[in-house]
Amino acid sequence: MYHFFVDSAQVSGDLKSVMITGSDYNHIRNVLRMKKGEQFSVSILGDDSGKELFYEIDSFTEDTVAGKLCFVEENGHELPSRIYLFQGLPKVDKMELIIQKAVELGAYRIIPMSTKRCIVKLDEKKSASKIKRWQAIAEAAAKQSKRGIIPEVTEPLSMKQAIKYCEDNQIDVRLIPYENAKDISFTRQIIENIKPGQSVAVFIGPEGGFSEEEIRLCLDGGIQPITLGRRILRTETAGFTAISWLMYHLES
């Protein structure tokens, strides 16, 4: 079933009807060629409850698809905890893949980081363009995976700014995969102690990893080093692995 995001103004106050317009209207009518009586689901932008609303196509006009409510799925598809992925900037194609898969796995927000060993350096003009592109990828992935929200991709931060971001947002658990961390049993213990509802930050380095100075900043900032196993993972694999483990634990 196809999934769309709508503004609250597009849904009636009692949720009984929805009006689909703009690019989603074009997608429903001219790309998918959906017919009256077919169903689709929507999430309301700005609603963090995770509700998924199911509608049946009632009618078409020249620029609107009208849907009538079939039922509401209260639990939706969101994780019971907010996962913040702090991602050291990799090469552009890798970042797009990371955003797509992190959204599918349940990340709540993706925060790019400009670190010492980053190959990619974004100036202000490039940054605005890239973030617009990355946000579009996040939206497409959220629709595909039936997320209840569209995760935000923020402006790139430095390591110091990222640590402060954790403090300002009172993120409960802060993790950084690090090759010199204790063995996997320690990582398992940390993850198993995370309770649903606790927010989690995961710090992932770029292709060259974090510098020793950045690791020290993290440790001083209360970020817990963990291991992801005996093998050295690529930057795009490390984030997927960490979020997958968290997803498995939180949804069990």
- How far the first Cα of the chain sits from its last, in Å, is 25
Token reading at 19: 């009006």
- Kind and range of the H or E element at 20? strand 17-20
**Among residues 249, 208, 202, which one has the least CA distance to residue 119?**
208
* pLDDT at residue number 50: 74
Domains of the chain: 3-73 (2.40.240.20), 83-251 (3.40.1280.10)
115 in Cβ contact with 210 (< 8 Å): yes
**Among residues 247, 248, 246, 228, which one has the least CA distance to residue 238?**
228
Q: Is the pLDDT of residue 122 over 90?
A: no
* pLDDT at residue number 204: 95
Say if residue 161 is exposed, middle or buried (CB neighbours under 10 Å; 0-12, 13-18, 19+).
Answer: middle
The residue-averaged pLDDT of 137-166 equals 94
Q: Cα dihedral sign for 21, 26, 30, 34?
A: negative
CA 36 remoteness from chain centre? 33
Mean pLDDT, the chain, whole residue set: 91
* 200-176-167-123 Cα dihedral, nearest 10 degrees: -110
The residue-averaged pLDDT of 161-168 equals 95
The residue-averaged pLDDT of 157-178 equals 94
* pLDDT at residue number 40: 95
Q: Is the pLDDT of residue 126 over 90?
A: no
The residue-averaged pLDDT of 162-182 equals 92
39 in Cβ contact with 1 (< 8 Å): yes
pLDDT tens by residue, 49-70? 778 999 999 999 999 999 999 9
Task: State the pLDDT confidence band at 12, using cuts at 50, 70 and 90.
Answer: very high
* pLDDT at residue number 209: 85
The residue-averaged pLDDT of 88-99 equals 89
Q: Output the pTM of the full model.
A: 0.86
The residue-averaged pLDDT of 234-238 equals 93
* pLDDT at residue number 34: 95
* pLDDT at residue number 207: 87
Q: Is the pLDDT of residue 121 over 90?
A: no
Q: In the chain, pLDDT over 90 holds for what percent of residues?
A: 75
Task: State the pLDDT confidence band at 109, using cuts at 50, 70 and 90.
Answer: very high
Q: Is the pLDDT of residue 248 over 80?
A: yes
* 147-144-30-46 Cα dihedral, nearest 10 degrees: 20
